[in-house]
Amino acid sequence: MQPINLFEYEELAKNHLSQMALDYYSSGAGDEITLRDNRAAFERLKLRPRMLVDVSDRNLSTTILGQPLALPLLIAPMAFQCLAHPEGEIATAKAAAAAGVGMVLSTLATKTIEQVAEIRQHFPDALQWFQLYIHKDRSLTRTLVERAYNAGYKALCLTVDAPMLGRRERDQRNEFSLPPGLHAANLATISGLDIPHAQGESGLFTYFAQQLNPALTWDDLAWLQSICPLPLVIKGILRGDDAIRAVECGVKAIVVSNHGGRQLDSAIASLDALAEIVTAVDGKAEILMDGGIRRGTDILKALALGAKAVLIGRPILWGLAVAGKAGASHVISLLQDELSLAMALSGCAKLEDIDSSLVKSAEK
């Protein structure tokens, strides 16, 4: 029987993934407090629907950085998607493009920048961004950026919350590494870098410690912008003062994110950080958010607090694991249908009707 919500996809995915892959995808850092709180934050926030509004026709479309989307949704950057399905990021890109939603390709993808970009031959309007980790080797980073630009990606999405990798204890216990035949495809084509097998340690944790630059500062954003004309998006902001600094540095969009609870445990839930950042930015950059979204009502709540769009991560992996591209497509379709229904029941015919009056904290 086909799943009817994202939680059912998660349960089914457990039957299709190795224990190492399942733990890698689903785990958070430390005691996984933030991982759980990302979800709980949506449950704490209640809706205040409007009545007697004509919602016979609903319009879910929007634009992000000037590019149209069929609904306010992007696929978050996620590494190693071929652990879920042999087509990995290519299946995700096809599902996203067919649905008219965006996709952010991870630096640590198991398909190359160019392979994923080829999807636009069939979907020329597909929104594709490239997520970037800045390595200690600046020439390697420059090469990645140039490849993304030449392949037609529409923005660079710099992850700023990972100067070091969070301690994910399930990965440490499993000594996480990629199985034979899988590689970080974009790095292998540049320098032969790969995720090592480390005794008693996560191979990804070791990779970050060896290769990524923990000395990254705001000043480095100017260097990044100097080597590429694409708009810069930064992902991983949780404070209003950091958001203001980002705007001052020329950032065009901000993803409010705690990395799915995988970096600093006990960090604030993304949803709880959202309103402060929206207020601080005051329309000078577009605000997106990720973390814990599993229902159309979750998207509605995020939009009510000021997000222009949201990103989803793990549910796409569950869809891939269960049924490849068809599974990922169905996950997107479920969210689209749920958002449309939530808008109707809240008295919102279009996204512009969604505002902060629709939500109320349970504590108030």
Q: Return the active site residues.
A: 259
The 10 Å Cβ neighbour count of residue 2 is: 11
List of E strands, the chain: 45-47, 62-64, 67-69, 73-75, 102-105, 128-132, 156-159, 232-237, 253-256, 286-290, 309-312, 359-361
- Rounded Cα gap, residues 309 and 288, in angstroms: 5
Task: Give the burial class of 113: count Cβ atoms within 10 A of its Cβ; 0-12 exposed, 13-18 middle, 19 or more buried.
Answer: buried
User: Using an 8 Å Cβ cutoff, are 13 and 321 in contact?
Assistant: yes
Q: What is the tens place of the pLDDT at every residue in 173-213?
A: 999 998 999 999 998 877 667 777 777 888 787 888 788 88
- The residues with which 237 forms a beta bridge, in sequence order, are 256
- Rounded Cα gap, residues 266 and 67, in angstroms: 35
pLDDT at 362 over 70: no
- The residues with which 75 forms a beta bridge, in sequence order, are 103, 312
Q: What is the tens place of the pLDDT at every residue in 86-132?
A: 999 999 999 999 999 999 999 999 999 999 999 999 999 999 999 99
Q: What is the pTM of this model?
A: 0.96
Question: What is the Rg, in whole angstroms, of the alpha carbon atoms belonging to the chain?
Answer: 19
- Rounded Cα gap, residues 305 and 307, in angstroms: 6
The 10 Å Cβ neighbour count of residue 139 is: 10
Structure tokens at 118: 């080829």
